[in-house]
A and B are shown apart, each in its own frame.
Chain A
Amino acid sequence: MSHIGFIAAAYAITAIVLAGLVAWVIVDGRIQQAALGELERRGIRRTGRQRGGEAT
């Protein structure tokens, strides 16, 4: 059936978009965790005093 192409395309694009969403959520999570880790390493706190008087 010539319609196979359309079916395949529909499933393919669905897979790509959904996989892309999942990937975005996972990668974004890693990026935020990394940024958070970096900031904590530099001694920056969300509340309260900063550590020491050192400028970075």
Chain B
Amino acid sequence: MLEFANPTRFMALSRSVLPWLWAAAAGVLAIGLVLAFRAPADYQQGLTVLIMYIHVPSAWLAMMCYAVIATSSVGTLVWRHPLADVSARAAAPIGACFTFLALVTGSLWGKPMWGTWWVWDARLTSVLLLFLMYLGLIALWRAFDDPARAARPVAILALVGFVNIPIIKFSVDWWNTLHQPASVFRFDGPTIDPSMLWPLMVMAVAFTLLFLAIHVAAMRNEILRRRVRAMRVKAASTLVPAE
């Protein structure tokens, strides 16, 4: 872990790893899509189950991304790891995108299935709140002039949010049973047929690889961006016209 602590080493290491990540992501994604389209149609939902193969991985990634941010935040606050806040900063927009996809695909799945664009069931509502929390992180980051100064406040916010997630989940579940609609919405039934499980798993792996590739690339960009900023600040402070 410590050898990644040096940004320069990270840049060198990531440059060699990144092409493989992209290739792996593309490859597994292709396999996953083929498997998904060749899987049998669900007896209940027909072809619409195809949406499940992108909705569920998106939701998983949305949550995994927040876990990455929370872990990075611990790294920032406890160990002052130099790359920790770069990791968190890079991951936030990616997580927000996956959360957005989970919401939109969930909505597009819900309309043909249950007739409404939006369903206030426990899961979708929790994901909506997660989306708002991502936006909050990004908003707090952008409110600071110096991104390095934002690192620790955002880390605190991320961890407060992380601690809150089980509480929110519990509350929303409780709220949902209170307002129980006539039928119970289960996106993935208690048992998924193996013929659907495999494509789902492969798509999940594909999304994860894609996230890793984008994340590493975004971290590289963030490191470069901070170098550029530092150099511009230095340039601005030293270019004093000679009298």
Enumerate chain A interface residues (CB-CB to B < 8 A). 1-4, 6-7, 9-11, 13-14, 17-18, 20-22, 24-26, 28-29, 32-33, 35-36, 39, 42, 44-46, 50, 53, 55-56
Contacts and interface: CB of A to CB of B under 8 A. Distances in A.
Given A46-B231, A53-B242, A29 B224 contact: yes
Given A6-B51, A10-B51, A32 B228 contact: yes
Contacts of A28: 218, 221, 225
A1 B239 CA distance: 67
Contacts of A35: 224, 228
A21 B54 CA distance: 16
B30 interface: no
B101 interface: yes
Contacts of A46: 227, 230-231, 234
B111 interface: yes
Contact of B228 (A9, A21, A36): A36
Prevailing SS type, chain B contact patch: helix
B70 to A, nearest CB: 21
B235 A42 contact: yes
Given A1-B47, A3-B112, A39-B232, A10 B214 contact: no
B166 interface: no
Interface stretch (B102-110, B179-187, B191-199): B102-110
A7 B46 CA distance: 11
Contacts of A44: 231, 234-235
Contacts of A24: 93
B217 A29 contact: yes
B214 A21 contact: yes
Given A6-B112, A10-B105, A28-B218, 6 more contacts: A7-B108, A22-B210, A25-B221, A29-B220, A39-B235, A46-B234
A17 B55 CA distance: 13
A17 B97 contact: yes
Q: Which of A11, A18, A33, A56 counts the most B-chain CB atoms under 10 A from its CB? A: A18
A14 B241 contact: no
Given A10-B54, A18-B210, A55-B241, A1 B46 contact: yes
